[in-house]
Every structure is written in structure tokens, then in C-alpha cells.
Amino acid sequence: LMLPCLFISALRFKILLDGLGMPCAYGRALTWTMIGVFFNVAMPSATGGDVVKALYVVSAYPREKRAPAVLSVLLDRMMGLFGLFFLAFMVSLAGGAALEHRADLDRDAQDKLLFVVRLVRWMCLGFVLCFWFLTSRRLERSAWRKRVTLALPFGAQIEKLYMGFAGLRERPALLLVLLGLSNLNHIFLTASFLALAQGLHTHFDLLAGLVVIPLLFFARTFGFAGGFGVGEFASKIVAP
């Protein structure tokens, strides 16, 4: 169940690179994805693999493609994180009544589950609003924003990254494909977690798991190597 995640993530990254005007063979995208996953675990940061992955991508393209190359790695991470929230958000909407009225849970567990459901809904809404604002034409054309951006260290490079990011509003089909692949990836991740729990004779409700587990994977992003520490702490807080 974990193995398909690598192939789906690599396909998402390839499509993203192609969409940004940097054609890439699937085999190379798969190699970069596996390198990133390895260093996410091996380096003292759960996102350290993205830095190594970006270095490989940048080195494979001409100098003028450096900004889109870095942007591709950042967007790949963002779409992965948004996919977590979107999957949990859709499950929380589809099974809202069943999640909010669980007779099989005690009061403490019910309160935790309700907290997670509401948190996921608000975070997903916040992500959409943030994306809408950052990619708006008004902000893109703002002279004030451009002055502030160019005044920052590496301002010219950051401006190139931002312009590439803002241009995504003109590519809704690309965004939908990336989001769909992210959701499929997280379905396999969640299924592997639930299968492991079942193998350890630990009860984890399917419907609640589809909401809670993506949030735990998000929490792992901010942990030590491989996400250890933060994800485990979050599981004790939010898992019903």
C-alpha cells in the first residue's frame, strides 16, 4: 500500500514539471521523488528531502530555468499538503453526521474528533482563501508588493518564483489533476496506516481515520527526521 505512493507522487511531479515548461521523463521524476523521500527520513528535518530534491532538479535544467525548478518542488509540497486537508475535508462533509454523533465514543474522544473535524474544515478553507489571495491579479500587479519583494534578500529570485506561482490561476486543469493525484496518494497512505493498525490489533474507525490520519501526516511535516516526535505527539492529542 505504501509503494504506489512513490509512483503517484512521481507522476504528480512529472506533470507539474511538464506544466511549468520543463519536460521531464517519468523515470527521472521517480528518481528525484525517491531521493527526496530518503532524505526526508535521513536528514534532521521532515522536509529536508525537498532541499536535496530541489538541488537535483535545478542542476538538471539551464540557468534560466532555476526559478521554475525551485518553484516545482515548492508547489509539489504545497499540493501534497493541500491534498491532505482536501481529502479530510471531503470525508468530513460526506460523513459529517456520522462523525459528529458517535455513540460508540466516550465524551473525551467525541470532543477530540469534533475538534479535528472543525479544524480540518477551517484549515482547508483557509488554504483556499490564501491561494486565492496570493494568486489574485490585484496582488500580482500591486506596486507595493513588488517593492517589498524586491527589497528582500534574493528579491529578484523570489519575484520570479511568485510570478510563476501566480500564473497558476490560469491553469485550473493542471491544478485539478495535481489535486486528484494528491488525494489518491493520501488514500493509499491512510489505507497503509489503517492496515498497520489492524495488524497490531488496534481499532481505528475507517471514517474517523480518513479525517484524523491526514492531519497527523501534516503534523509530521514539522517534526524531526521522518517527522518523529510531532506526529506522535499530535496523535495523542487528536486521535479519538
Please provide the DSSP assignment of the chain as one string: --HHHHHHHHHHHHHHHHHTT----HHHHHHHHHHHHHHHHHSSSTTHHHHHHHHHHHHTS-GGGHHHHHHHHHHHHHHHHHHHHHHHHHHHHHTHHHHH--TTS-HHHHHHHHHHHHHHHHHHHHHHHHHHHHT-HHHHT-HHHHHHHHHSTTHHHHHHHHHHHHGGGG-HHHHHHHHHHHHHHHHHHHHHHHHHHHHTT----HHHHHHHHHHHHHHHTTSSGGGTTHHHHHHHHH--
- The answer to whether residue 97 scores a pLDDT higher than 70 is no
**Backbone torsions φ then ψ of 103, nearest 5 degrees:** -70, -20
Please report which confidence band the pLDDT of residue 99 belongs to, taking 50, 70 and 90 as the band edges.
low
The whole-number pLDDT of residue 12 equals 94
Confidence grade of residue 238 (pLDDT, cut at 50, 70, 90): very low
Task: State the pLDDT at residue 168.
Answer: 83
Mean pLDDT, the chain, as a whole number?
80
Kindly tell me if the per-residue pLDDT of 202 is higher than 90: no
Percent of the chain with pLDDT strictly greater than 70: 78
- Higher model confidence: residue 110 or residue 223? 110
Query: Which pLDDT does position 98 carry in this prediction?
Result: 60
Q: What is the pLDDT of residue 57?
A: 93
Say what the pTM is.
Answer: 0.80
What are the pLDDT digits (tens) for 118-129?
777 788 888 888
Q: Is residue 15 very low, low, confident or very high in pLDDT (cuts 50, 70, 90)?
A: very high
Res. 181: pLDDT tops 70: yes
Q: Is residue 214 pLDDT above 80, yes or no? A: no
Q: What is the pLDDT of residue 234?
A: 46
Q: Residue range 89-115: average pLDDT?
A: 68
| Structure confidence at residue 233 (pLDDT) | 45
Would you state the pLDDT for residue 7? 94
Q: How confident is the model at residue 11 (pLDDT cuts 50, 70, 90)?
A: very high
